[in-house]
Amino acid sequence: MVSHVVADTTSWEQKVAKALEGMAEVVAYVKNDHLGFTIPYTLNGEERSYYPDFIARIQLPRPLETVDKQRAGPSRRPRKDGAPYQ
């Protein structure tokens, strides 16, 4: 369990930590320092990795749904009104 944030900047990391601590949906968070957590993405055909500064575990009131537009057929694309498919 992490109980303190050791920031390596003068202000923005402290502001992020304070904001995360004040959010009811945040269950836990940690600074991504030497954890190696990355988010893979492709830009102009080149595979890259994004290294977020913080990782947060959140609890949402309902499950988060995602759709991969490149792999989904037309019937699975997100609806314009944002409502989930039944």
Q: How far apart are CA 72 and CA 17, in angstroms?
A: 37
* Per-residue pLDDT, 80: 64
| CB contact at 8 A, 5 and 31 | yes
* Per-residue pLDDT, 49: 94
Q: How far apart are CA 12 and CA 34, in angstroms?
A: 19
Residues with Cβ within 8 Å of 55's Cβ and at least 6 positions away in sequence, in order, are 29, 30, 32, 35, 37
| CB contact at 8 A, 42 and 48 | yes
Residues with Cβ within 8 Å of 23's Cβ and at least 6 positions away in sequence, in order, are 58
Model confidence pLDDT, tens digit, residues 28-57: 898 888 899 999 999 999 999 999 989 999
Ordered by start, the domain boundaries in the chain are: 1-61
What are 40's two structure tokens? 């893979």
